[in-house]
Structure formats: structure tokens, C-alpha cells
Structure 1
Amino acid sequence: MASKKEKASAYWKENIKYLTILLIIWFLVSFGAGILFRENLNEFRLGGFKLGFWFAQQGSIYVFVILIFIYVRLMNRLDKKYGYDE
């Protein structure tokens, strides 16, 4: 059986992995879609607005809120996996 310290270390390692993945997604959506790939995305329209503009103004915020809910769900599973849920 794993010690308490090993269990906590594995928990934080997995937590950091989730955070890294979610932050990369957020960066790609906010900076990538809103700034770097704006010109390419502006060829498409969403709700009458150019897609690059939409991502810069609203899309990245929506994605950020969705990522918060995903993180909560992942952390609830992680807490149960390592026995930290109450």
C-alpha cells in the first residue's frame, strides 16, 4: 500500500497534468484563435461576426468557463480516486 506522502505526490502530479492541459487549451483558444490565427479564422462567420473577432471578444471567455467546469469534474474524480473526497 502506498504511503500518505506517495499518494499525495501522485495526486499533485496528476493535478498539475490536468492544469497544464487545460491551460494549453485556454492559451490556444484565447491567444491562438483570437490573435495568431485571427486572419485565417476571419474567413468564417459566427452570428454575423468574423470568427477571429468572435474568439477574441467572446469565444475565449466561453471556453474558459467551460474549462472551469471540466476542471471541477476532473478534480472530483481525482479526489475520489485518491480518497480525498468527503
Structure 2
Amino acid sequence: MSFESNEQAEGYWRENLRLVLKLLAVWAAVSFGCSILLVDVLNEIHFMGFKLGFWMAQQGSIYVFVALIFVYVAKANALDKKYGVHED
């Protein structure tokens, strides 16, 4: 990866770090919030035959995590193209 200037490299990594922090915040909110903090409220809702709080703790947070991986890949590729450091 080769940047044209230090400012360009700093801008790239600043945006990349901001993206990672946003995705980590979503992951933390879903895994910690839905599985621990809101489990009693969510357990009043049934989803696919299971209490939603239980389902989020066992399956839902994993699905969200995998979805966040795909979101990161798409956003990181767009960021690479924006800064001209993408791979062909």
C-alpha cells in the first residue's frame, strides 16, 4: 500500500479507524445490550419459536457479527478506492 503523502495516509487511517469504531459500537450494542441488558424485555417477544432475548444471545448476535464483516469489507474497499490504494 503506497500513499502519495503523509496527509493522505493519515486521512485514510483516520477514516478506517472511525469505521472500525462505529462497527464495534454496533456489535457491542447488539451483543451486550440485547443479550444481557435488554434480555428480559426481549424475552417477552417470541421469534421463530424462541424468546427473542435468548435467540439474540445464541444466534442473533452471531448473524449481526457476520453481517458487520461484510459491511466492513464493502466500506473498506470503497475507502481503498477513494484513496487510490485498492488492489486490482
TM-score range, shorter chain: over 0.9
Kindly tell me the number of residue pairs found equivalent between the two proteins. 84
2: CA distance, partners of 1:13 / 1:46: 39
What's the CA shift string for 1:4-41, capped at 9, x where partnerless? Answer: 10000000000011000000000010010001100011
Which residue of 2 is the match for residue 83 of structure 1?
Answer: 84
Which residue of 2 is the match for residue 17 of structure 1?
Answer: 18
Q: Gaps spanning 5+ residues in structure 2: where?
A: none
Structure 1: which 4+ aligned runs deviate by more than 6 Å? none
TM-score of the two chains, using structure 1 as the length reference: 0.95
Which fold has the larger relative contact order, with Cα–Cα distance below 8 Å and residues 6 or more apart in sequence? 2
Q: Gaps spanning 5+ residues in structure 1: where?
A: none
1: CA distance, partners of 2:41 / 2:72: 30
2: CA distance, partners of 1:59 / 1:53: 9
Alignment of 1:53-64 (within 5 A): 53-64=54-65
Counting aligned pairs with the same residue, the percent is 57
What's the CA shift string for 1:34-85, capped at 9, x where partnerless? Answer: 0110001111011110000000000000000000000000000000000001
Which residue of 1 is the match for residue 69 of structure 2?
Answer: 68
TM-score of the two chains, using structure 2 as the length reference: 0.93
Query: What residue identity is the alignment partner of 1:84?
Result: V
Query: CA-atom RMSD, angstroms?
Result: 0.8
1: CA distance, partners of 2:46 / 2:6: 52
